[in-house]
Amino acid sequence: MQHGPRVQPGAARLQSCAVQVYVVHRLLLFVPTLLGASLLIFVLMRLVPGDIAQILVYQTGSEQSSVQEKQIKQIRTELGLDKPVLVQYVTWLGNAVRLDFGESYSQRRPVRDILLERFPRSMELAVLTMGLAMLWAIPLGVISAVRQNTWLDYGVRVLSISGLSLPIFFTGVLILYLLVRVFRYLPPLEYSALTENPVENLKQMIWPALAQAYYISAPIMRLTRSQMLEVVRQDYVRTAFAKGLSDRAVIYRHALRNSLLPVVTFIGWWGGRLLGGIVIMEIIFAVPGMGTALVQAVSYRDYPTVQAIVFVMALIFLAVNLIVDLLYGWLDPRIRLA
Amino acid sequence: MRNHRLFIVAVVMVMIAGVAAGGFAQQDKPRYGGILNWFDYGDPARLDVHAESPLVVQQATSGVYSGLLHRDPDDPTKIAPDLAERYTVSADGKTYTFHLRKGVKWHDGQPFTSADVKATFDRVLNPDFKSPKCGATLKPLVAGTEIVDPHTFQVRLKAPAPEPFLGAVASAWCRIAAKHVLEKFGDLNKPEAQIGTGPFKFKKYERGSVIEWEKNKDYFIPGLPYLDGVKQFILTGGPTQLAAAKAGRIHLWDTWPPMGKAPSEELKAARGSEIDVYRWPINTIWIVFLNTTKPPFDNPDMRRAVHLALNRQELITKALDGAGVPCAMLDPKLVGEAALPLAELERMPGCRTGAGKEQDIAEAEKLVKKHHPNGIDIEMAFRQVGNYSDRSQLVAAQLRRIGIRGTLKSHESAAGFAAFGKGDFTLLTSQDRAMDSTDPGDPFSLIWTTQGGSNYGKWSDPKLDELADRALKETDRAKRAKLYHDLQRMFMSGAPSALPVGWVEGWFFTDKKVRGYKPASTAYDNITFMKVWLAP
Amino acid sequence: MSAVAAQTRRLLARQPLGVAGAAVVLVLVATALLAPVLAPHGPKEAVFGQFVPPGREFPMGTDNLGRDVLSRVMWGARLSLYVGLVSVLVGVTIGSLWGIFTGYLGGIADVSSQRVIDCVMALPPIVLALSLMAAVGQSVNNVILALTILLTPTAARTVRSVALGIAASPYVEAARAAGTSHVRIVLRHILPNCLATYIVLVTTNISYAIVVEASLSFLGVGAPPDEPSWGGMLTAGTQAMETAPWLIFFPGVAISLAVFALNLLGDAIRDIADPRLRGGLG
C-alpha cells in the first residue's frame, strides 16, 4: 500500500499566502471525501444479500412458515427498510449531520451510544500500538541505515520483514497460546476502562498492541532506514562529517531530525488505518471495541451501526491525514502542493 | 452358580459403594460465597427473553427470572414448580389452574401477583408480537387466560395437550416478567429492564465484554442461592475460549459450540484432575436439506438417492469424532420410547453399514443414472460456523461417489439463514437445529412438516402432516409413541427433503470446585445456577 | 555463460537478501506449478487417519479430516500464489493505467478520479474487504475481486504521481511542442517510464495480498474452507494447536516463507529499479 508522503525536495519555497490556500483547499476536500466514503459503504451494504428482517426471522426458524413472511414485512416497515435506498441515505445523512446516527437494528439502542462507548477503546489500542511500534522501529531503522550493508543491517531488515510475514491473527493466537502454555497466564478477559483501572486495562491491551505493533513496525523501520540513507547522502550532512563532528552528533542533530518528517507522515497515515486493522486483535483478546461491534453489525446487516462506525473510521483517517499534512506543510514548506 | 454368586456380590458391593458415595456427597455441605465464571459465545445485545431466540440471551438472563414451572435443578429431566407452588388440571384436561407463591418480590421490591403472569402471557400470545420460542409454542395451544385472584391464574387450552403445554410453561423461554417493568420499558431489551424474581439480580452489562449477576438476598427460596454472583465473559474467538478454559479462568463449558475431542483432550492435559470432562447430548440434530422447489431435488428419485448414499456413521465418526447418534430422527436418550429403536433403524436402507451400505450406494447410483446418465453438478451450501465446513467437505465427498458433484458455497453465519429461508439453495450440507424441549413432536413441528419454520427444503407431504398432527394431540403416552414410530418409518422409507444425519453431541467440562450443577437436556434450561455452589 | 555467472556474482554481492528471496520464490512457483504432479494425494481427499503426526507416510502429517497436509500445503502454494498474483496483476495494471491516463490528462478527469480514490482509501482495507466479501459471497475468485478493488486505488495514486513527474519533464514537453499525439506520448514516453514503478508495486503487493487473504479466512469470509488456502489451514489449525501442532506449523512456515521471500525480492527490485520508491509498506 504505497502512499508515502509526496516529497519534492527541489520545489520552490512557498509564500505564506499559498500555504493558506493550501489549508483551505484541503479543508474543502475533506467534506466531499467523507460523504463519498459514506455513500460508498452505504451502497456496498445494500448490495449485501439478505437484510436484518430475514436474518432475525429465519435464524430463529421456529414460527410457522406462513407467519414468517408477515413478520419480515413487519420488521422492514418498522425499520424503514421498505423505503427506496436513496431516501434512506438522505434521511441517514440528514440525521448524521446533527450527530444523530439512528438506532442500531441489532442492539436496539442509539448508535451514538455505541460509538461513544467503543470508540475510545479502539483509539487507545491504536495509539498504544503505534507508540510501541515507533519505540523500537525508529531506533532499529537508524541503526540499520548507519550500519548500511553490514550484517547488522541485514539482521534488522530480516527482523522487520519477519513482522510482515505472519498474518496478525496468527501472531495474536500464538501470543495467547504461549502465555497460557508457558506462563499459565491469561490477560484479563474483562474490559476495564483506562480511566478507572489503568493497570487492568493495560494488562489486557498490551498484548494485542504488541502483536499488531510487530506487524506495523516493519514499514516504519524500512522508511526510517531509507530516509536516513537519503539524508546522510546530502551535502550538509557530508559537510558536517567533513567538519569532524562525531558520528553520533551528526546522526542525531542533523540526519535523524530531517529524515523523521516523512516517517511522521507515514505514521499518521497508518495510525488512521489501524482503526480498521485492530478488528482481529479485538476479537482474539476480547476487547469490546469498534472492530468487534463492526463485525457483528456487518453480519447482522445492521446498516445504521455499520454506517456510523465506518463513517467515524473514515473521519478519523481523513482528520489524522489532514493534520499530518498541515503539520508537515508547516514544518517543511518545500512540499509540492497537490 | 459360582458366577451368579460372584455377580450378586459384585452388585451388592456396587450398591454399597453407591450409597456410601451418595452419603458422602450429602455430607458435603453447600458452601456460601464465591463467583462462578463462564462465558457467552457471542454478545447478546438484545436481552428480551420473550422476543429473542439465541442461546446467549438465555445465558445472559436465565438466573434473573423465574417461571411458573421450571426444570428441576436437582434432576433437569423433571418438571418442578417454581413461581407456581402447584397446579391443577380440570377433568377435560383443558383448564390449568396455577396457584402462585405468596410473598414473592420483584428485584425492585414490588410484590409479585397474578397480574404479572397475565401480562406475560398476554405479551407472548399477542398475535402481533414476535415471540419465536415461547409464543410460537403457546399460541397454537392456548385459548385464553384469566386472573382468578391475586395468587391464582388460569389457562384454557384449545385441546388437551399436557406434554407440549407443560413443557412450554417450564421452558426457559416462558419466564415471567413484571407487569410494571413491561409498562415502563415497553420491552425487556435494556439491562435496566432486567428485573425478575430469580435467584440473581442483573448487576452489570459491559457490552462485548462481560455480564454479571449478583445474589438476590430476598430470593423466595430461603437459603438460596449459594453463590455471591455469576460472571459471564463474552468470548467470540474459538482460540480465546479454549485459552480461557486452559488458564482456569472459567469454571465450566456448557455452551454452544461444544468442544471437539482434540480441544477437550488438550484441556484435560492442561488442567488434569482439576476438572471433569464429559460428553453430553446437546438436543440438536444435524440435517442435510434438499430443496424440493428446484431441480434436481424436485425429483423424488434424486432425493431418495441422497438419502441412500449418505453414510451417516462415517459423517459422525469423522466430523464429530464419533460424538453423535447417526441416522436417528429422534434420539432415544432424549425422547425415550417415542424414538425408533436404533437397532431397527440400522436395518433400514440409507442407515445400513457394511455390505448393506454398498447395496444402498449401488441403488442410489442407479437412481442418479436414470435421470442424469453423466452425473450432475450442483452447488452445496453451508454457513461458515462451527465445524460445518469439515462436515460439508465430507458430505460432498460421499455424494461424489454416486455422481452428484458438489461445489461448496459458504455463507456468512447470519446471512446464511436469510438465503436458506428464502429457499435460495440446492443442497444444504450441514444445518443444526436445536430443540427447545425433549418432546418428540418438536423436530416434526420445526423441520418435517409443511408449516415447519425450519422446513428450508419447502417439503410438503399432507399424509405426514396429518399423522404428525395426530401424534402431537395424542394424550396417551404409549399410543403417542406408536404414532411417532409410524412417522419415522414412513419418513425413512420415502424420499424426504430434510435428511437426518444424526443427533449431535459434544465435549464439555466443569471445574471440580463446581458442585450441584446438572446440565439439562437443552442448553437453555437449568442455567440459573440457583443451587450451584463452589467448593474451596 | 561466464558473463551470466559474473553478473549473478555481482548481484549476489550487492543484493544477497534479494537473491535469496528470488531463490525461495522460484521454489514456491515451481511447487505451485507442479503441485498436481508433486503432491502425493489430492488436496480434498479425506480418506486417511485423522491427526496422524508427521512421519514416513505423511511427511507433514494429516489433518482433522484425514487429509494429507503435505499435499494441501503444495496445492496451497498454487492457490495462494494464484490469488496473490492475479489480484495484484489485475489491480495494479488497472490502477497503473488509470493513474497514467488521469495523471496525464489532468483537469476534471484527474480531479474527480483523485476524489474517488480518496473515498475508497478513507475506508480501512479490512473493513472494505469484509463488506465486499459479504456482498459478493465466498469463492476464490471473489477473494481475488475484493483484493483487486483494494489494490487498484493505491496503485493508481502511486503511478499517477510518477506519471505527473514524467509529464512535466522537458523531453515530454518537447515532444508535445513537436506536435506528437497524446496517445503516442503516453505509449512512447510515459508508459515505459512507469514500468519500474509498476514492477515494484507488483512484487511488493503479492505478499500483502497473501496476508490479507489469510486474515479474511480468520474472519470467516475468505476462500471456501475446502480450498487448500494457507490462511484457511492456519485458521483451522488453531483449534488443536497442542494436539496437532503440525497443522499450524507447516502452513505457518509456508506463509512466512512466501511473504518473507517476496518481500526480500521486492526490496531488491525496488533498489535496482527505482531508488526513489523506497519506504512504502511493501
| Distance between C212 CA and the closest CA of chain B, angstroms | 18
Q: Taking CA atoms, what residue in C is nearest to A28?
A: C115
Q: Which band of pLDDT confidence, cut at 50, 70 and 90, is reported for residue C2?
A: low
| pLDDT tens digits, A216-266 | 888 888 888 888 877 777 666 667 666 666 666 666 666 676 777 777 777
Q: Is A99 on the interface with B (CB under 8 A)?
A: no
Of C122, C231, C278, the CB nearest to A33: C122
Please give the pLDDT value at position C93: 94
Please give the pLDDT value at position A272: 67
Of A50, A68, A71, the CB nearest to B419: A50
| Distance between C276 CA and the closest CA of chain A, angstroms | 9
* Mean per-residue pLDDT over chain B, rounded: 89
Provide the 3-class DSSP secondary structure of residue B341.
Answer: coil
| pLDDT tens digits, C67-125 | 889 999 999 999 988 999 999 999 999 999 998 888 888 788 888 888 888 888 888 88
Regarding predicted confidence, which is higher, B297 or B477?
B297
Please give the pLDDT value at position B36: 95
| pLDDT tens digits, C184-212 | 888 888 888 888 788 878 887 888 888 88
* pTM of the predicted model as reported, rounded to 2 decimal places: 0.84
For the cut 50, the answer to whether the pLDDT of residue B296 exceeds it is yes
Q: Decide: A294 and A279 in contact? Cβ < 8 Å.
A: yes
For residue A184, which residues of chain B lie inside 8 Å, CB to CB? 247-248
Q: Is A47 on the interface with B (CB under 8 A)?
A: no
| pLDDT tens digits, C8-24 | 777 777 777 888 889 99
Q: Is A248 on the interface with B (CB under 8 A)?
A: no
Contact residues, B window 54-73, toward A, CB-based 8 Å cutoff: 54
Residues B461-472, mean pLDDT to the nearest whole number: 90
Burial class (CB in 10 A: 0-12, 13-18, 19+), A84: exposed
Respond yes or no on whether ipTM tops 0.85. Answer: no
Please give the pLDDT value at position B18: 44
Beta carbons of A165 and C260 less than 8 Å apart: yes
| pLDDT tens digits, B492-530 | 998 889 999 999 999 999 999 999 998 888 888 889 999
Residues C155-177, mean pLDDT to the nearest whole number: 84
Alpha helices, H only, chain C:
2-14, 16-38, 69-105, 107-122, 125-136, 140-167, 170-177, 182-185, 191-218, 230-237, 246-273
List per-block mean pLDDT (blocks of 10 residues) for chain A, which spans 338 residues. 39 54 77 87 82 79 74 83 84 86 86 91 91 90 83 85 85 89 88 90 92 87 82 68 66 68 73 74 88 85 88 86 74 50
Q: Taking CA atoms, what residue in C is nearest to B264?
A: C240
| Distance between B417 CA and the closest CA of chain A, angstroms | 5
Pairs of residues, one from chain A and one from chain C, whose beta carbons lie less than 8 Å apart: 164
Q: Taking CA atoms, what residue in B is nearest to C238?
A: B239
Q: Is A286 on the interface with B (CB under 8 A)?
A: yes
**What's the first-to-final CA gap in chain B, in angstroms?**
49
For the cut 80, the answer to whether the pLDDT of residue C47 exceeds it is no
For residue C49, which residues of chain B lie inside 8 Å, CB to CB? none
For residue A299, which residues of chain B lie inside 8 Å, CB to CB? 412-415
| pLDDT tens digits, B57-80 | 999 999 999 999 999 999 988 899
Which chains are within 8 Å of C by 3+ CB pairs?
Answer: A, B
Q: Is B43 on the interface with A (CB under 8 A)?
A: yes
For the cut 80, the answer to whether the pLDDT of residue B373 exceeds it is yes
Which chains are within 8 Å of A by 3+ CB pairs?
Answer: B, C
Copy the grid coordinates of residue A49.
444479500
Regarding predicted confidence, which is higher, B478 or B4?
B478
| pLDDT tens digits, B377-424 | 999 999 887 788 889 988 998 999 999 999 888 887 777 888 888 888
Interface probe for A, chosen from C88, C152, C281 (most Cβ of A below 10 Å), is: C281
Q: Taking CA atoms, what residue in C is nearest to B398?
A: C46
Report the 10 Å Cβ neighbour count for B279: 16
| Distance between B257 CA and the closest CA of chain C, angstroms | 12
Please give the pLDDT value at position A12: 40
Q: Which amino acid is at B495?
A: A
| pLDDT tens digits, B423-465 | 889 999 999 988 888 889 889 988 998 888 888 999 899 999 9
Q: Which band of pLDDT confidence, cut at 50, 70 and 90, is reported for residue C244?
A: confident
Q: Is A184 on the interface with B (CB under 8 A)?
A: yes
Report the 10 Å Cβ neighbour count for A291: 28
| pLDDT tens digits, B204-227 | 999 889 999 999 999 999 999 999
Residues B314-318, mean pLDDT to the nearest whole number: 91
Q: Which band of pLDDT confidence, cut at 50, 70 and 90, is reported for residue B16?
A: very low
Beta carbons of B243 and A63 less than 8 Å apart: no
Cell match 492475479: residue? C86
| Distance between A181 CA and the closest CA of chain C, angstroms | 9
Q: Is A63 on the interface with B (CB under 8 A)?
A: yes
Pairing between strand B84-89 and B142-149?
Answer: unpaired
Query: Residue A57 contacts by C-beta under 8 Å, 6 or more apart in sequence?
Result: A63, A68, A71, A72, A75, B130, B421
Count of residues making up chain A:
338
